[in-house]
Structure 1
Amino acid sequence: MLISLDIRDILIIDRLSLALGPGLNVLTGETGAGKSILLDALGMVLGWKGRADLVRQGAEKGEVTAVFDLPPGHPAVQVLEEAGVEVGGEVGGELILRRLAHSDGRRQAWANDRRVSAEVLRNLSESLVELHGQHDDRGLLNPRGHRALLDAFGGYDLAPLRTFWGQRRQAAEALEAAEQAIARARTEEEFLRHAVGELDKLAPQPGEEAVLDAKRRMMQGAARIREDVSRALASLAEEGAEGRMRDATRWLEGVSDRAEGRLDEPLAALSRALIELSEAQSGVESALHALDFNPAELEACEERLFAIRALARKYGTAPDDLAREADSLRARLNALDAGEAGLAQLNADLKAAEAVYADEAALISGKRAVAASQLDTAMAAELAPLKMERAVFRSVITAAEPGPDGQDQVTFTVATNPGAPPGALNKIASGGELSRFLLALKVCLTGGGAGLTMIFDEIDRGVGGATADAVGRRLQALSENAQVLVVTHSPQVAALGAHHWRVQKSVVSRAGQEITLSTVVPLAMEERVEEIARMLAGDRVTDAARQAALALIPGT
């Protein structure tokens, strides 16, 4: 419920504080007195789109503060929590919205002293205030909201339908993702098969590249030193040092007996040298054998080593990771080969989800048809007292694209005269008729509206007498479940208000200049009688008009 509205320096309002109450709140006043300015100011603090030049001339900034009382569990609490604004939560609490408009066009907003965006204000306004009037495109006149209104009137549960829609959407998305994945895989199928075949044929193993590189370097080194080792071995063999040492030994042994022992030691040294030479020769032979290799083996080693390194460069990975890369590519290829069977299962899942959704959507369509008939009947009963008994209201249900709320489109239509073709509310009805249609529709659609403020902007325009009285009584009935604020020129409507304010305009002198200001005055009973008498009689209020006003006000 809107508790108070405080306005500073907005258009022709310099200072204004309006304390509202529960039930039916009535604003009256002469045309041009500033009643619409109050709605402009309220729209500003609620983030509605409106006129940009709201700051009063000569002021640097304008300010509007609205205070709401939120009952426990009010929908606005969730919006506030998401915006990081503290409020009473499940126990309700007070919500203070404040917005500044600067003369240069800048605007700032706060909710309970926390800065918020205009979007947060608009989200809050959807659960705080409803505005209804002849140019209302946010509520009942907007066909996009008619289905939700009918569903709320019917009171059926859409949760299962939305769950089945979610499952249907998930199944469709899974199928689409699989189809896209397979399509992408098919574009690289030739590459995958070639790559897997190429890697499988080479079959590189982790660590193999290092082993091959060491073996290659060893064989390359052996080729370089083997020739010198062979030459050394030849120098030590029979044709080399060994042969000459044996010749020297034979020559010395042949003359040693005539040398009187002088050759004994040299011969012994030669014997020892021959033994050492034999060991050296054996060692060199062993080394030469170890250095012996098949050139074809070096060629094969180099070929495999270079092949492994080439594949590593080709696939952008380390040589030791080629086996892992082969496994990854093979998995993608296997997924492609198994894709058709997977697509068949996903198609079956989607068809099953579509069937479940279609059954529930058909059930909801049947419930909507019943609710539409009930709403049409209720509207007929409401239109008769509003002097529109010849008008026909119809809730038209047509097929629509399937969605979370079903496969129906709902449009509220009217035919104001028998035999006339039905059409959209705002296209067919005149100003006064439209007002009454909207009011009747709101009465039919509104159940418990605790915490909601409904604003009706001259919804009684163009009607009078008994019809105006019927309009007032329906506004009064609405105010039993929700706070109602009505801007009216009808004395019959004003007389039924629980709270009455008069909007008036005056010219005052400030700093040597005359300026026009608007203010709102709360009316006590005597003043209410005078105001309603003025609305009945015009500028010249007579005693008869006062008596008529008293007759209109209940309980007087």
Structure 2
Amino acid sequence: MLRSLDIRDMLIIDRLSLAFQPGLNVLTGETGAGKSILLDSLGFVLGWRGRAELVRGGADKGEVVAVFDLPPGHAARAVLAEYEIEAEDELILRRVNFADGRKTAWVNDRRVSGEVLRALSERLVELHGQHDDRGLLNPRGHRQMLDAYAGFDLAPLRAAWAAMGQAKKALASAQGALAAVQAEEEFLRHAVAELDKLNPEPGEEAVLDTRRRAMQGAEKIRADVARAGMAMSEQGAEGVLLEALRRLEAVADQADGALEAPIAALNRALVELGEASSGVERCLAGLDFDPGALEALEERLFAIRALARKHSVLPDDLGTFADGLRGRLAALDGGAQNIAALSRAVVQAEDGYAAVAAQVSAARREAAARLDAAMAAELAPLKMERAVFATEVAPGEPGPEGVDAVAFTVATNPGAPSGPLNRIASGGELSRFLLALKVCLTGDAPGLTLIFDEIDRGVGGATADAVGRRLKALADGAQVLVVTHSPQVAALGAHHWRVEKRVSGGMTTSTVTPLDAGARVEEIGRMLAGDTVSDAAREAARALLVG
């Protein structure tokens, strides 16, 4: 229950404190007096999205504090637990709007976001505005209203719809991929065969290129190396040195030791020359190659490079590229089986969705019958006992919320054809249909403060009295706030406030005054007669208050 509402510097409200009570609370006043500002302020502290500019002109900030009673078991306690806010018997919501647009909110002195306020507001307050019949007239919202009445959990249906969509998407993707692969099947098979035949290894191109360069270089230098080897052989330098050594050794005994050093030097030279000759021989052995091997090497090297250019990849990436082509071929070869499996999955998903949707459709038809019966019970006290409200559940476009199209139809007079609300019902009838529907949808919500903003517009006399009595009955054991211009409704309130606009010192402010018995007579008299309240209007007001 909303216990109090404190407003500071919001629009034309300077300072205002309201203490609400259980039962039917009515707020009356001239048009433009500020009744809507009260609702805007309440909506602001509850986190609802509304006007952008709320701070009173000249003020640094505006502030609204709402205090609710929170008995044990109240639905709002679950929201507090979800956000780890300690629950008490008193719930205090406070929100500040700064002049620069910044907003800050607290719940029981715990700073929170607007999301938390909105989550709490769904468990605390239900607002039925004077334009709510726009939603009632729009068939797109009728299915949602029926589902809300029935309390459906549509999560399994939405999950089945999503699963069906995913299965269809997977099938379409596989079919598209298969079609793309089929279009290039000839290329793929030829390319894979060509790559498999060559079977290039990573790094092979660099190795082949190095060996080719070595072979080509060997062909150029081998003749010179061979001539150098011949010059160092016995027919060349080695033979000359040996001849010189023999001659010196033959006469060494006669030279008194003078030839020892030259002989030693020649021996060393012959040793070095032998090593040089051995190195040249090894080099020549290494330079030996088969010209046919060079030709075969170049053929493979050029083939690798040609394939790399053909497929616009690096030579070292030909193996990876071939794997990719093989994978696409495998997809082609196994595509029919894969698509068959995916097609079966689509059928299973469609069957699953259809089964859940059929259950929801049956439940909706059952709920529609219950709603129609509840509406009939609600319309009778509202002077519409001859009206027939019917909820039609017909096949509709499949979607995440089922395969049903739901529409509310009415027949306001016996024997008259039924039809859409916007074609059949008048403005006053729409208000009563809306009130009845709202009562059916939320009348049994425990701990919920119901607010009706001019729900009685377009009706008067006995009909207005009937609307007021239904609101009063709805308020028994609960709390209902009604903004009204109807004296019949105002007279049935357990608590009455008058909203007035005043101008003082060039500043316009809105005030709200609780009315005692005498003041209520004057206010209801004003609502009956206008600015000048006659004695007859006062007597009529007293008669309404007596009931």
Distance in 2 (alpha carbons) for counterparts of 1:191 and 1:129: 69
1:59 has 2:20 as partner: no
Q: 1:278 to 1:62 in 2, by over 3 A?
A: closer
What SS does the corresponding residue of 2:354 show, helix, strand or coil?
A: helix
Structure 1 position 349, deviation (Å)? 0.8
Are the counterparts in 1 of residues 391 and 408 from structure 2 also a CA contact under 8 Å?
yes
The residue type paired with residue 455 of structure 2 is: I
TM-score by length of 1: 0.79
Shift of 1:329: 3.2
Alignment of 1:340-351 (within 5 A): 340-351=336-347
1:26 corresponds to = 26
Which residue identity does 2:95 align to in structure 1? R
Match of 2:326 among 330, 334, 348: 330
Tell me which residue corresponds to 1:223: 219
Q: Is the 8 A contact 1:458 1:487 kept in 2?
A: yes
**Aligned residue number for residue 96 of structure 1:** 93
Instruction: Call closer, same or farther: CA 1:204–1:126 in 2, change over 3 Å.
Output: same
Q: Aligned to 1:548, which of 522, 531, 543?
A: 543
Aligned counterparts of 1:381 and 1:472: Cα–Cα separation in 2? 16
Q: Displacement of 1:279 after TM fit?
A: 8.3
Residue in structure 1 matched with residue 13 of structure 2 by the alignment: 13
Asked whether the equivalents of residues 7 and 13 of structure 1 are also in contact (C-alpha less than 8 Å), the reply is yes
Report the CA distance between 1:288 and its aligned residue. Answer: 2.2
Within 5 Å, give how 1:89-238 maps onto structure 2.
94=91, 96-98=93-95, 100=97, 102=99, 107-112=101-106, 114=111, 116=113, 128-136=124-132, 139-186=135-182, 189=185, 192-236=188-232
CA RMSD of aligned residues (A): 4.3
2:515 corresponds to 1:523: yes
- Report the CA distance between 1:356 and its aligned residue: 2.1
2:464–2:486 CA contact under 8 A, matched in 1: yes
Contact 2:450 2:479 (8 Å CA) reproduced? yes
Gaps of 5+ in 2: none
Contact 2:454 2:482 in 1 (8 A): yes
Q: What is the CA–CA distance in structure 2 between the aligned matches of 1:261 and 1:537, rounded to whole Å?
A: 164
Seen in structure 2, the aligned counterparts of structure 1 residues 436 and 281 have a Cα distance that, compared at 3 Å, is closer
Q: What corresponds to 1:35 in structure 2?
A: 35
Among residues 471, 474, 486, which one is paired with 2:470 in the alignment?
474
Measure, in 1, the Cα distance between the counterparts of 2:197 and 2:240.
59
Contact 1:16–1:519 (8 Å) recurs in 2: yes
Partner amino acid, structure 2, of 1:17: S
How big is each residue's C-alpha offset from its partner over 1:182-232, in whole Å with a ceiling of 9 and x where there is no partner?
355456656644543343232122343453344334323422331112212
Q: Deviations over 1:59-99 (max 9, x none)?
A: 35673515253676747976997xxx77447x797352535
The one-letter amino acid of 2:543's match is A
Q: Corresponding residue for 2:373?
A: 377
The 8 Å contact of residues 473 and 496 in structure 1, kept in 2 or not, is answered as yes
Q: Could you tell me how far apart the structure 2 residues matched to 1:241 and 1:127 are? A: 114
TM-score w.r.t. length of structure 2: 0.80
- The change in CA–CA distance for 1:278 and 1:422 in structure 2 (over 3 A counts) is same
3-state secondary structure, aligned to 2:15 = strand
CA distance in 1, matches of 2:158, 2:284: 86
Give the number of aligned pairs: 534
Please give the residue correspondences for 1:445-484 in structure 2 after superposition, counting only pairs within 5 Å: 445-480=441-476, 483-484=479-480
Q: Against the structure 1 CA distance between its residues 30 and 447, is the aligned structure 2 distance closer, same or farther, given a 3 Å change threshold?
A: closer
* SS in structure 2 at match of 1:107: coil
The Cα offsets for residues 484-532 of structure 1, whole Å up to 9 and x where unpaired, read as: 2111233442343343211123343x1xx4x543211123455445544
Identical-residue share of aligned pairs (%): 61
Relative to structure 1, the CA distance from residue 135 to residue 274 in structure 2 (aligned partners, 3 Å threshold; closer, same or farther) is: closer
Structure 1 gap ranges (5+): none
CA change 1:426–1:133 in 2 (3 A) is farther
Deviation of 1:420 after TM superposition, in Å, equals 3.8
Deviation string 1:106-146 (CA, Å, 9 cap, x unpaired) is 633322175856x8877776555433244225754443332
Instruction: Tell me the secondary structure at the aligned position of residue 328 of structure 1.
Output: helix
Higher mean alpha-carbon deviation, 130-139 vs 322-331, is at: 130-139
Separation of aligned partners in 1, 2:315 and 2:181: 25
- Mark the CA change 1:465 to 1:138 in structure 2 (over 3 Å): closer, same or farther: closer
What is the CA-CA distance between 1:334 and the residue it aligns to? Answer: 1.3
How far residue 345 of structure 1 moved from its aligned partner, in angstroms, is: 0.8
SS of the residue aligned with 1:384? Answer: helix
User: CA 1:484/1:30 → structure 2, altered by over 3 Å: closer, same or farther?
Assistant: same
Seen in structure 2, the aligned counterparts of structure 1 residues 143 and 316 have a Cα distance that, compared at 3 Å, is same
> Is residue 80–residue 86 contact of structure 2 (8 Å, CA) maintained in 1?
no
Partner Cα separation in structure 2 for residue 362 and residue 260 of structure 1:
126
Separation in 1, partners of 2:357, 2:297: 71
Letter in 1 for 2:368: A
Secondary structure at the aligned position of 2:333 is classed as helix
Q: 1:477 to 1:286 in 2, by over 3 A?
A: same
* Distance across 2 between alignment mates of 1:59 and 1:325: 73
Give the C-alpha shift of residue 354 in structure 1.
0.7
* 8 Å Cα contact 1:8-1:64 kept in structure 2: yes
CA distance in 2, matches of 1:187, 1:481: 74
Instruction: After superposing the two structures, state which structure 1 stretch, 448-457 or 382-391, moved more.
Output: 448-457
